Structure 1
Amino acid sequence: MATIVLLHGGGAGGWMWRYVAPVLTAAGHSVFTPTFTGVGDRHHLISRDITHWTHVLDVANLLEFNELEDVVLVGYSYGGSVIPGVVSLQPGRVSKALYLDAIIMHAGERLSEAMGYMDTETASQVERTLASGEGPLGAGTLEIVRAEAKAHPHKMSPERQAWMLAKITDIPLRSMVDPVRVGADSLTIPVEYLAVPEGSPVVNMHQRARELGWNISAAPDGCDHTFPFGQPEIAFDFIMKHI
């Protein structure tokens, strides 16, 4: 049986795997669902000192202190950007990476620019401001997610969407403007990518996956980027197929 570490999206937390992790566990796998510092159940720790590398360390330390081996790292959305850094720190512990419509980063690039939220100059200035101890703690993720859901309801029941939106928190702004230290091109382990063909906010990442020569599968029709919340069977099936 596999050891699986599920990495959540921005503003979410380990809680987002509520409908995925128990099914994987029931299938006999060992499953871990860490929450990045400053979000979810660790939102009380949000600060200007939390960088993207902090989130890499969150996961790398989980692997080390739990003595995990032959790990399958599964990254959803923001979680995908963390995978290369974790592998660089714990190369002997990770055997495979699965990206669920996830972000792919180049070394030295900032998430805010990769996602089109800021240009390079603005992101750099914001990072310097935060490093000096000034500026907002959060990136405004909560407001963005709620506004998008109101304008374009996600492909899930209203009850499930309300559950999701009630738990979304902000994400530390500095983690979005801090240059990523390790890029996806450094990965030498097998990688599988699940892409949502229509309406995904990370659609530009699909081309990056192609350029890296990764195996890409298309998510079933009728789902959107939030499928791990609203259609968790899609995530479960993909993970089971590739572990």
Structure 2
Amino acid sequence: MCHGGWCFAGLTEQLRGHGHVVHPLTPTGIGERSHLLPGGVNLDTHIEDVTALLTAEDVRDAVLVGHSYGGMVITGAADRLPERVDSLVYLDAVVPAHGDSCWTLVSEQERRWYLDVVDTGYGVRPLPFFDPRATPHPLASLLQPLRLAGDPARFRRRDYVYAAGWDGESPFTPVYQRLRADPAWTTHALDGGHNLMRDAPGELLKILLAVPGQAGGV
């Protein structure tokens, strides 16, 4: 939420250095794209951001990586273009099923934050400790339920990377505990805060490099 593809800049450079094709994406209505359709942006818009990129760049065997709210987006994008997706990586993220919204999956503390909207009513204010480049996040994207046509378990691999160093209680602890007991998932716990790209980049890089196998773009 509130961040752009630039928050993956360090990882992008390192992954490309290992020969991977990487497409960091800023969703519509956020960051440098905050001027685009602020009142009409929802979860479907962000899913289409990803599917449009996969199609335009002719990406095959993609590893989709989603941070936090991004778990909603990569789940929906993989469901819509399963023939282009190899694996999914959830970075301290929500893991939705059919009919879930980000609102229904988070704690009451996060819901109170979601209701702190800017004057237009369209966007959730960035939290004070966010990167100074962060911009309001489209509220509708957090409220819209996800619609899935297929089984998310059909992809070759699904990884969950849990941030164990939250300042306070993490809303993702129940997700991690549930998936850790599921043999269909590969789980990891890193000693860092929610923004693992910043707090544990070296360990996160090792995890991402192990995921693709013979797959292509991230």
Match 1:136 to one of 121, 141, 149: 121
Match of 2:216?
none
Residue type at the aligned position of 2:147: R
Cα displacement (A) at 1:102: 1.4
State the SS of the aligned residue for 1:98: strand
Match 1:58 to one of 49, 63, 69: 49
Cα displacement (A) at 1:173: 0.5
Q: Give ranges in structure 2 of 5+ residues lacking alignment.
A: 213-218
Residue type at the aligned position of 1:204: P
Distance 1:109 1:217 in 2: 24
Cα displacement (A) at 1:82: 1.1
Match 2:146 to one of 155, 161, 180: 180
State the SS of the aligned residue for 2:164: coil
Match 1:202 to one of 172, 183, 201: 172
C-alpha spacing 1:88/1:231, structure 2 compared with 1 (3 Å): same
The answer to whether the 8 Å contact 2:2/2:137 transfers is yes
Cα displacement (A) at 1:182: 2.6
Residue type at the aligned position of 2:145: P
Distance 2:173 2:49 in 1: 27
Distance 1:178 1:46 in 2: 16
Residue type at the aligned position of 2:142: M
C-alpha spacing 1:181/1:215, structure 2 compared with 1 (3 Å): same
The answer to whether the 8 Å contact 1:84/1:184 transfers is no
Residue type at the aligned position of 2:198: F
Please identify, of 95-104 and 107-116, the stretch whose mean Cα deviation from structure 2 is larger: 107-116
Residue type at the aligned position of 2:187: I
Match of 1:87?
78
1:45 aligns with 2:14: no
Bigger helix fraction: 1
Residue type at the aligned position of 1:235: L
Aligned residues: 202
The answer to whether the 8 Å contact 1:38/1:46 transfers is yes
1:20 aligns with 2:20: no
Q: Give ranges in structure 1 of 5+ residues lacking alignment.
A: 1-9, 127-134, 150-163
Please identify, of 75-84 and 195-204, the stretch whose mean Cα deviation from structure 2 is larger: 195-204
Cα displacement (A) at 1:234: 2.4
Distance 2:53 2:103 in 1: 26
Cα displacement (A) at 1:117: 4.2
Cα displacement (A) at 1:214: 1.4
Match 1:171 to one of 137, 145, 163: 137
Distance 2:42 2:23 in 1: 22
Distance 2:31 2:132 in 1: 11
Distance 1:179 1:218 in 2: 28
Cα displacement (A) at 1:208: 4.5
Residue type at the aligned position of 1:226: N
The answer to whether the 8 Å contact 1:106/1:184 transfers is no
RMSD: 2.6
State the SS of the aligned residue for 1:73: strand
1:109 aligns with 2:100: yes
Cα displacement (A) at 1:187: 3.3
Cα displacement (A) at 1:184: 9.3
